[in-house]
Amino acid sequence: MAEPALVEAQELGRDFEVSRPWLERKLGRLPRQWLRAVDDVSFRIERGRTLALVGESGCGKSTVARLMVGLHEPTRGRVRFGGIDLSQAAPAEMLGIRRRMQMVFQDPYASVNPRWRVRDIVAEPLRAHGLINERGALRDRVAELLTQVGLASRDGDKFPHEFSGGQRQRISIARALASDPEFLVCDEPTSALDVSVQAQVLNLLQDLQAQLGLTCLFISHNLAVVEYVASEVGVMYLGRLVELGPVGAVLARPAHPYARMLLDALPDLDMTGRPRTPVAGEVPNPLEPPAGCAFHPRCPQADARCRVERPLLKAIDSGVLVACHAMEEGRLAPGAATPGRATDRIPS
């Protein structure tokens, strides 16, 4: 039998209450309001693989990341880690699971304590999980982690404000690796960095994944970044997955109209002359999402069915799943192949 996926999301959903204050609702006789940030998202990540979730800001990809590590409780559906349903796990069992999953946040400065020295920041997971208690062994382990991410062991005596943005993100990565995790969630870890520093951090993450056998969930809005780091990619729109499949197949021949528009928004450095359709319109109000396919107000292929019936993810060629009536009915052919796609490493 095939080994089960390390991480699995099953029909995952999360709602947030965004109602007006209680007194204002009572006086105005207003109903409670709920924002559906994530709606029926399902995927699997095999051991040693990387799934990237991409989409415009507000599509729910960061909420999915927090759901996967337990920072939010799902409103619907479930998260399974190593075959264990996290909603059913006992507190003692969850403590062991949390050691096996870690997260690297978007802002490397906001995610660390500015009053702590770097050695204390990196050592925090070791102390919290009781992995190392002896002072000398703790100091040696911190020095090893800092060296592993490209910093010097003496940097442990400094404070976060003494480092650049890229160096602070390396500190965050060292802290995430301290507990020897199996699953690493990276929530836009390079979006706050300069382009050249982004390349260094991405190459570091690739090297660490190869060395440590990490399984990763990578959140990004930049498809140019995703093609270098991911094995599979999921395209999200308004809380739902609209396309999911191997990164080479999705980026070379995108099927969903939204995925095509995201790719067309990238600069065409190869000057291929291929016709390009820029992303048009605005994301609908998530408090009042459109009926049927959520993308239909911006989609040039939308028809009457798209406006009333929600499309489901269905398999097409190359193992890609697409939620699109136009693809299902044959009104839309798979996207044209895009030449000059990813290399194995980003020049830094």
What is the mean predicted confidence (pLDDT) over 203-218? 93
Q: With contact defined as beta carbons under 8 Å apart, do 171 and 118 qualify?
A: yes
> Given pLDDT bands bounded at 50, 70 and 90, which one contains residue 342?
very low
Percent residues over pLDDT 70 in the chain: 91
> Given pLDDT bands bounded at 50, 70 and 90, which one contains residue 162?
very high
**Residues 44-66: tens digit of each pLDDT:** 999 999 999 999 888 999 999 99
Q: Write down the pLDDT at residue 339.
A: 40
What is the mean predicted confidence (pLDDT) over 153-159? 94
What is the mean predicted confidence (pLDDT) over 22-26? 91
Q: Report if pTM > 0.85.
A: yes
Q: Given a cut of 90, is residue 232 above it in pLDDT?
A: yes
Q: Write down the pLDDT at residue 272.
A: 61
- HSE on the CB side for 99, CA within 13 Å? 15
What is the mean predicted confidence (pLDDT) over 286-293? 90
Q: Given a cut of 70, is residue 344 above it in pLDDT?
A: no
What is the mean predicted confidence (pLDDT) over 145-169? 93
DSSP of 29-94, one letter per residue?
TPPP-EEEEEEEEEEEE-TT-EEEEE-STTSSHHHHHHHHTTSS--SEEEEEETTEEGGG--HHHH
Q: Write down the pLDDT at residue 264.
A: 79
Q: Given a cut of 90, is residue 306 above it in pLDDT?
A: yes
**Poorest-pLDDT segment among 34-38, 166-170, 189-193:** 189-193
**Residues 81-98: tens digit of each pLDDT:** 998 999 888 888 888 899
Q: Given a cut of 50, is residue 341 above it in pLDDT?
A: no
Q: Write down the pLDDT at residue 1.
A: 43
Percent residues over pLDDT 90 in the chain: 60
Q: Write down the pLDDT at residue 271.
A: 52
Strand 183-187 relative to strand 101-104, pairing:
parallel
Q: Given a cut of 70, is residue 284 above it in pLDDT?
A: yes
> Given pLDDT bands bounded at 50, 70 and 90, which one contains residue 223?
confident
> Given pLDDT bands bounded at 50, 70 and 90, which one contains residue 38?
very high
What is the mean predicted confidence (pLDDT) over 250-266? 87
- Please give the DSSP secondary-structure letter assigned to residue 192: T
- HSE on the CB side for 307, CA within 13 Å? 6
> Given pLDDT bands bounded at 50, 70 and 90, which one contains residue 239?
very high
Q: Write down the pLDDT at residue 340.
A: 41
CA distance 142 to 136: 10
Q: With contact defined as beta carbons under 8 Å apart, do 48 and 230 qualify?
A: no
Q: Given a cut of 50, is residue 107 above it in pLDDT?
A: yes
CA distance 190 to 106: 7
> Given pLDDT bands bounded at 50, 70 and 90, which one contains residue 179?
very high
Question: What residues contact residue 239 under an 8 Å CB cut-off, 6+ apart?
Answer: 36, 37, 38, 39, 41, 59, 60, 286, 289, 294
Q: Given a cut of 90, is residue 126 above it in pLDDT?
A: yes
Tell me the average pLDDT of the chain: 87
